[in-house]
Chains A and B, each alone.
Chain A
């Protein structure tokens, strides 16, 4: 049973550097979501894809953030010129178009620390 996987699990970087995270959803899940979670808060929606199409982006997603899902399978989230405020857990989730309505399957997350 392969769930949602994310790589890396942890990332420490210096302010101003670029970072890229990868998410591999559950096979055949059409929809893929990115969320950000900071300490003491719930996941905040960033963006989501249906297949390769990016259907919605949150206003939280500044110009420094970009997400792609080029072949409708895995996705990458890139943060350019990282800032200390970007330190958070970045969660990826996926779900099929059919099945239990709105239920999302989450990966373990990538914890980012910007020094």
Chain B
């Protein structure tokens, strides 16, 4: 039973365009959501997060949207750059519970 799902294993976009990565979750107890980025041969690095009391959080080119009723979140990257090419993991937590539950990742390729 996978509680966090990223249904698109890969996404390819042109440089300068918008990248939209999607994530769905099933556990309504999750109240904090994070996106991590991973380059080959490195561990995941934190990108952006959102609390369940918000529906949007923005940090530079990165915006995360949360739709609690749909149990869905998305990461928007505008404009996309070739250096954004990486695997993006969605993760969900219960504040104070300790661990995070990760999706299987989406490989983003930004073409010059």
Report yes or no: B101 in contact with A103, Cβ–Cβ below 8 A: no
Chain A interface category by residue count: 20 to 34
Complex: A55 Cα to B9 Cα, angstroms = 33
Q: Give the Cβ gap from A83 to chain B, nearest Cβ, in Å.
A: 23
B36-51 contacts to A, CB under 8 A, are: 36, 41-46, 49, 51
Complex: A42 Cα to B102 Cα, angstroms = 6
Count residues of chain B with CB under 8 A from any CB of chain A. 26
Report yes or no: A55 in contact with B45, Cβ–Cβ below 8 A: no
B52-104 contacts to A, CB under 8 A, are: 89, 91, 93, 95, 98-104
Complex: A56 Cα to B98 Cα, angstroms = 8
Report yes or no: B89 in contact with A102, Cβ–Cβ below 8 A: no
Q: Is A93 an interface residue (CB 8 A)?
A: yes
Report yes or no: A100 in contact with B42, Cβ–Cβ below 8 A: no
Complex: A41 Cα to B40 Cα, angstroms = 14
Q: Give the Cβ gap from A23 to chain B, nearest Cβ, in Å.
A: 11
- A41: chain B residues within 8 A (beta carbon): 104-105
Q: Is A112 an interface residue (CB 8 A)?
A: no
- A45: chain B residues within 8 A (beta carbon): 99-101
Q: Is A27 an interface residue (CB 8 A)?
A: no
Complex: A105 Cα to B98 Cα, angstroms = 13
Q: Which of B32, B44, B89 is close to A101, meaning CB atoms less than 8 Å apart?
A: B32
Report yes or no: B93 in contact with A102, Cβ–Cβ below 8 A: yes
Report yes or no: B43 in contact with A93, Cβ–Cβ below 8 A: yes
Smallest Cβ-Cβ distance to A109: which chain B residue: B43
Complex: A39 Cα to B99 Cα, angstroms = 21
Contact residues of A with B, CB < 8 Å?
A: 4, 31, 33, 35, 40-45, 48, 50, 55-56, 91, 93, 100-109
Told that A102-B34, A108-B43 touch, could you supply 12 new A-B pairs with CB distance under 8 A? A4-B43, A33-B98, A40-B104, A42-B103, A44-B102, A45-B100, A56-B98, A56-B99, A101-B49, A103-B46, A104-B46, A108-B41
